[in-house]
Amino acid sequence: MKNNRAFILGLIGGIFAIILSVISDIMPFNDDRSPGLMIFCGLLGVIGAILIDYFTNIGAILLIIGAVGGLFSDPVIYILSCVLMISSAVIGFIHRDDPRVDQQS
């Protein structure tokens, strides 16, 4: 894996979003939330985190879509997952491979 930081941040953000959506579905804090949308956006985050190693731009775009979509469902609960997924997407966009590593192999 060439982009471990982005993978780990995105995976933690996606799993955290899924866990919080299940908890908020079991114990409803307010009525204007959509746990189905939170689960879908958490899954987008996990899929984006997996894809960020192989298809960096597609994975980063999926992470951003998952983060912004989760904010529409319940912004108070989803804020930490949103920060983790957006930071993972930014790291994925700005990450460049070191050309010296390729020359040594």
State mean pLDDT over 11-19.
93
96 to 14, 33, 92: CA distances (angstroms): 24, 38, 9
Q: What is the pLDDT of residue 26?
A: 82
Helix, strand or coil for residue 2? coil
Return d(Cα 44, Cα 103) in angstroms, integer. 35
Q: Considering the entire predicted model, what is its pTM?
A: 0.84
pLDDT band at 62 (very low <50, low <70, confident <90, very high): very high
Q: Which amino acid is at 63?
A: L
* More confidently predicted of 16 and 105: 16
Closest CA to 73 of 39, 44, 46, 47: 39
Q: What is the pLDDT of residue 29?
A: 65
Tens digit of pLDDT for each residue in 30-43?
666 677 888 999 99
